[in-house]
Amino acid sequence: MLKETVNSIALNKMKIKPESIEKIENDNGAIIQIDGDNVGIYKDPEGKIYAVKPNCSHLGCLLSWNNLDKTWDCPCHGSRFDYMGRNIYEPGIHDLEVKKI
Ligand code: FES
């Protein structure tokens, strides 16, 4: 029972996505949709926005935001990218595409 509740809470948290850039707090990141495309947004502590295409440069998996390390992490094979999209951990070797918003 407790395990099911914890799993349910975790799943619900994963489903919650900000609908707009305005809902992302400073020093946080999230994936939002702009014109039907996924866009990875990070707002620095001053509110400056960094936007990337949130697909791994290795084989294209959807990345997730790691707010502890301020990185975009790939759940498939472990590639990591900094908040500006620069590749910092293999197997991905290319940086993420930077998006203009
Ligand atoms: S698809 Fe991201 S590390 Fe392989």
**pTM tops 0.95:** no
Express each pLDDT in 59-90 by its tens digit.
Answer: 999 999 999 999 999 999 999 999 999 999 99
- Is residue 17 in a domain? yes
> Which domain does 77 fall in, by range?
2-89
pLDDT value, residue 20: 87
Give the residue whose CA is nearest to atom 3 of ligand 1.
Answer: 77
CATH number, domain with residue 29: 2.102.10.10
Express each pLDDT in 2-39 by its tens digit.
Answer: 454 444 344 444 445 667 899 999 999 999 999 899 99
Q: Measuring CA to CA, how many Å separate 54 from each of 1, 2, 69?
A: 35, 33, 16
Q: Ligand 1 — pocket residues by CB below 6 A?
A: 56, 58-59, 61, 74, 76-79, 91-92
- Is residue 96 in a domain? no
Buried b (16+ CB within 10 A) or exposed e, 78-90: ebbbbbebebeee
